[in-house]
Every structure is written in structure tokens, then in C-alpha cells.
Structure 1
Amino acid sequence: MYTRRLFAIAFSLVLACQAVTPAAEPKVTFESVAKTHFAKWVKGSADGTLTPERIDALVNNPHITGDEAAAVAAVHVYFRGRKTPAPVGEDTLLAAANPVGQEERRDQVTKPVNLQKVFTSFRNHLKAVPRDLFTEGGPHRTGMSQGRLGDCYVVSAVGAFATQHPEKLKNLFHPQADGSYEVSFPGRPRVHVPHLTDAQIALGSTTGQQGLWLNVMEEAVAIASRPNGGAEVAMDAISRGGSAGQTIELLTNHKSGRVAFRTSATASHPPHADKVAALANETRAHLIAVRDHNRLACAGSPHEGWVPPGIVSKHAYGVLGYDGKTDHVTLWNPWGNTFEPKGPAGLKNGYPTKGGVFTMPLTEFVQVYRTLFYETDAPAKKK
């Protein structure tokens, strides 16, 4: 009798626990967020469609936060991937949430854009990113990773700068009492960066847990690139590509030099041994000067033609060092990626990469890459 009573009490407790267990929250998806907010996004539209201009305004709106900001940023990527973007209705937008087709490159959007995948990435980033300008002893290169903007020519140079001159980099930033920032590029008037919106943070690069300084830097470079302003998203000005040499000049106020290795005519054919030796000798002299004077350098990969596995074409890399004893160059992919060759390291199999960093012989460097940009001691031209 006593045993039955205990069993009854235990069974009642189980039922009570089940009764108060909350139901699982519905999964947050791009589709669910877009359905919730689409009517607000198109409010006042004569035909109920969403235009790139409206999305630009939402990206720049500080009141758009959290999941809605992640969805707005994803739609911005959707529009940016089209040469002549047309307004879209809700059904068309939702149909693009999970397209079937070619996988997109992270920094160079190609059709189709998987809105659900982009939204999830942005949502996770917004949840994790610290909102202070600097944390964890930043700025430093470790943890930096280029976002969905095509601004490798900016991030690669900034990563090299963070490696060589972290204190100089930190001193470029001037937080303001209203939550905005000023960035003082040497030899130029300060650039005012308004308080970043969640959508702007989602679209930019990340420093891991170092804070928002790289997002602020990207915004400052973008604003400096379009001094007359405009209603569009400022960071789009740097997502269209550019020269790492220009970024080096912006960061240092020193003129950048350039050595060209490959052209489209030789993209699929390695140069003759004599040509390789001559290029290596010229490049070595510049790399020694960069190393000995703590200057900045970046390398651009070819726009087309062969590259070793693990090397990305049409991409900018930071040059972190040169070892005269081994005649090796150390480079950094601003994606912060990891790669392991399937065979001996070299031109055929690529180079072991961790956190985007790898080394390669100088004679192979001049065969793989298209251009070396390097800081000189000459003053940059006044803008």
C-alpha cells in the first residue's frame, strides 16, 4: 500500500513537470523574420515592392536591430549581387531564401544568394560581437576575418598594420560622447563615423572578440572614399574592389610602390627561370626594406589563370614578413582560413595555412602572385 502511494505521488510530479515545461520556441529563419517585417519595410510603396534604396535606408537605420537587422543586411547582399537590381515583392524574396545552385563566394556575391545562409551568419555574428570599440587587448591581427564585403584590399593592409604597428593603429580611433567615432588618417582631416547600426556591423568584417574597431575602420575608409556622402550604404564604396596600395597610403601617408609579376598574357604559363630570378631579386630588395623599416606590404593574386590549391584568385593578401635566411615570404589571407595541402607543400599542392598565415619561397611567390604593393618613405600625394 505504501509503495503504491509513493508511486502515485511520483507519477503526479512527473505529470506536473510535463505540464509546466515550456514549448520549444519556433526556429528563427529568414522567412519568419521577413514575413513579420516586410509590410513595414514597404510601407508607403505604391506597388508593395521592396527597392534597393529602401533597404539602404534600413541598413543605415539605428532602430533596426537584432534579427530584423540580420535579415535587412541579407537582403542588402541580395540586391548588391545584381548589376541592375529590380524591386521585389514578398513572394520573390521568400523564394530566394533557399535557392538551389552555385555556392557563393563569401566576399564576392554571385547568383544565387542563399538568404537563409547569409541571415544565419549575420544573426550569429550580431549575437557574439562585443559592442565596445576595443576589447581583449586589441587591435591585433589574430581573430580578424574579412566579412561579406569585397574589401580584401582594405582588410589585408589593416591586418599588416595591426601586425607591425598596433599602437599606431589604435591611436587612429577617437570615440565620441554620442557613440560616434572619429578616425584620424595621417595627413588628412578626421573622418566622422556615425554610431554603427546592427545591419552595418553584420555586413562588415570581424575581429573575433576584439570589439568593433575593424567595422569602424571599414566605415571610415568607405566614407573617405566617397567624401561627398550619399544616402546609400557607405561600405558599398569599398565592396566594389580597389588597390591595397591605396589603403597603404591612407594608413601611413606614405607613397606606395608596386612590382608586377604576372599579367593576363602569362597567367596560365609560369615565367622562364631567368625571369623568375630577376623578379625575385627585385622583390627581395623591396621586402628587405619593408622588413628593416617596419613598413607595410600586400600582395594581389591574379585575376585569372592558375593558382595553387588554397590560394584565392582576385584577392589581396597581407605580407607579414621576409626571412633572408630561408628566402621565404610570410603572407596572410584576410579570410583567416585554414588549409592543409594534399601532398608536399609547393606550387602543386599549396601551402599549410593556419589563421590565414602561411609561408612560401620567394621564387614561388613571384610565380603565383600578380602584384606586390609596398610602403616607401616618400610622402603620399595630398588628397
Structure 2
Amino acid sequence: DGISKKDILALDQLPNDNKLKNAVESQYYYDLSKINNAHAKFNNIFDDQGKMKLSPKVSDINYQDLRQGSTGDCYFLAALTSLAQRSPQKIVEMVKDNKDGTFTVKFSDKSVTVKAPTDTELGLYAEGKAWVPVIEKAYSVYRNETIFLSKENPYDKSGGGSMITGRGIKDLTGSNFDTDLLMATSADKTRAKLKSAVSNNKMMTASIAKNPFEKNSLGLPDGHVYSVIGYDEKTDKVKIRNPWGKTEAHDKSGNTRDGNDDGICELSMQEFNKTFSAIAYQN
């Protein structure tokens, strides 16, 4: 499948169809660029023999390594970020290198074994250390099997950008979750639940509903799920992270508040309640 260099050479022999030639060549070199970019992004996760290396060290698990690619699974990556932040040991425990080019990933109710991601898959999926694309690929298969979808191409069906805010929490841990609609929840109740979740090291994710008519004043993408990575009682601010690893709240001039566009920012409780639609707390 796809366009090979051999196809390009054969296409050159066809007469009088420059438009088709240009379109095919453009697609070929675009795809080639994505593969080359994947090598550049992930060159630190392969050993000298070209095999993917998976470190068993908790110290190598950093939630900021995770940066979403082009698949619509923000709800899962937001939860995975939260798990990596709060319980990095669980990331180490859930992934096993089978030493034969495959990896087994344990989710809440079953384990999934997948081959190491290909170059093309690395170009599609989230950036980060080896654990990131391996878990994301396995989750694609897990979701397909769970919802009885065709397994021909797991990357097309890893959740489809689901806005079920806490689904990733349950799939990763098996824990149930509470979801509050912020417009129907008092700020004091949200404060209390944030405080409890932080104190008990619980995962949290929050979503901004899609609004085709108006963008929020903070410049945060909508139709999107974020990790809630902290709450400061003294300042009454909620710390969030965009799984893209960039694009955070900005000021009126379009600049990030801390001068560092890493997807992490703090919002006042008023801003959080006004901008976000729902928040999910791990039970």
C-alpha cells in the first residue's frame, strides 16, 4: 500500500498528465518527509541495531515527554500524562519488552501485545520516549477490540477524539471516575474535589467542549481534553497541561503567560470554570 519510488518512476513514463504526476509526487515526498521526521524525533529510542529500547527505570518516565501526534486520542493521552505524573512506577509496570520485537501492554482489564511501531506509525503517534508510542499503539488495538471495530488499521479507530472526559482514566487504571459539568458545579465544590484529588494522588482530566461560534479568550483549543496536573489552594489556581506539549493560555498580545510554550499553564478558578466544560476525577 502507499506510494513507492518505483511508482514515481513508472508515473514519469505516462504521457500528458502533469497534474496527476505533480499530485502523486507531492504526496510521496510529503509522506517521506513525515517518515524522516519520525526518525529525527525518535532517534534516541533505538539501540545500535535499530531495535526500540524500553527503559525500565522510573526516573526515565517524564510526563512532559509526551506530545500528541496527529491522531484524535487526546482524552487518552491526557489521562496517560496524568498517570505518568502521579504514578510513574505504574507506567513501568504496564509495559513489558518481550525481546522479540514485540511489547505487551497491560490495561485495566486485559493485556495487548503489539509489534514495535513502524516508521510511519511513529510519524503519526505521540512524541516521547519509547513507552509513549508503544502504549499508544497498544491502546489503539485495545479500543478496537473493546468496541468491536475492524482491526485492519488500529490507528483509524483509537477513540476518534472522544469527548468522554474520563474514559482514559478508567481504561488505564480500572478505576471509576466522577465527572462534573462545571457550569452546574459550584466553585467551592470544585475547589474541594481538586484539593482531595491532589492530596490523594488521583488522576484528573478536563475538557473544553467544541464551540464553532466563539473561541475562548485564553486561546486554548476546544473539542479537546487536557490533564489537570495541580491545584494551589493559596493562589486558587488550577494547573493544566495540553497533551500537544504546546499551545497554552496566552495574554492579550498572544504571548504565553510564563514565556514558555510547553502546554503547561495556570488558570484562576474563575478562568477555569468559564473556559472548561467538564472535569473528571479518578475515584
Question: Which category of TM-score, normalised to the shorter sequence, fits these structures?
Answer: 0.7 to 0.9
Q: Which residue identity does 2:23 align to in structure 1?
A: A
Correspondences of 1:16-55 after superposition (within 5 Å): 34=3, 36-38=5-7
1:248 aligns with 2:169: yes
State the distance in 2 between where 1:331 and 1:97 align.
42
CA contact (8 A) 1:297 1:320 kept: yes
> 5+ unaligned residues in a row in structure 2: which ranges?
11-16, 47-52
1:292 aligns with 2:199: yes
State the distance in 2 between where 1:195 and 1:90 align.
39
Q: 136, 144, 159: which is aligned to 2:66?
A: 144
Q: 214, 217, 220: which is aligned to 2:138?
A: 220
What displacement does 1:326 show?
A: 0.9
TM-score normalised per structure 2: 0.81
Hey, what does 1:107 align to over in structure 2?
Answer: none
Q: 368, 374, 378: which is aligned to 2:281?
A: 374
CA contact (8 A) 2:75 2:165 kept: yes
Q: 171, 187, 197: which is aligned to 1:280?
A: 187
State the distance in 2 between where 1:339 and 1:127 align.
25
Q: Secondary structure at the match of 2:186?
A: helix
> 5+ unaligned residues in a row in structure 1: which ranges?
1-32, 42-88, 99-113, 263-274, 377-383
CA contact (8 A) 2:165 2:279 kept: no
CA contact (8 A) 2:251 2:257 kept: no
Q: Which residue identity does 1:247 align to in structure 2?
A: G
Hey, what does 2:226 align to over in structure 1?
Answer: 317
Q: Give percent identity, aligned residues only.
A: 23
Q: Secondary structure at the match of 1:367?
A: helix
CA contact (8 A) 2:209 2:222 kept: yes
What displacement does 1:38 show?
A: 2.8
Hey, what does 1:153 align to over in structure 2?
Answer: 75
Q: Which residue identity does 1:123 align to in structure 2?
A: N
What displacement does 1:238 show?
A: 1.5
Hey, what does 2:216 align to over in structure 1?
Answer: 307
State the distance in 1 between where 2:20 and 2:197 align.
52
State the distance in 2 between where 1:241 and 1:338 align.
18
Hey, what does 2:38 align to over in structure 1?
Answer: 125
State the distance in 2 between where 1:339 and 1:259 align.
23
Q: Secondary structure at the match of 2:63?
A: coil
Q: Secondary structure at the match of 1:147?
A: coil
Q: Which residue identity does 2:71 align to in structure 1?
A: L
Q: Which residue identity does 1:237 align to in structure 2?
A: K
Bigger Rg, which one: 1
CA gap of 1:36–1:289, structure 2 versus 1, over 3 A, is: same
What displacement does 1:230 show?
A: 4.0
State the distance in 2 between where 1:218 and 1:249 align.
15
After superposition, give the CA deviation of every residue in 1:193-233 in whole Å (9 maximum; x if it has no partner): 123222222211111xx2x2111111111111111574522
What displacement does 1:322 show?
A: 0.7
The one of the two structures with greater contact order (alpha-carbon pairs below 8 A, sep at least 6) is 2
Number of residue pairs aligned between Structure 1 and Structure 2: 263
State the distance in 1 between where 2:197 and 2:244 align.
23
CA RMSD of aligned residues (A): 3.3
1:95 aligns with 2:16: no
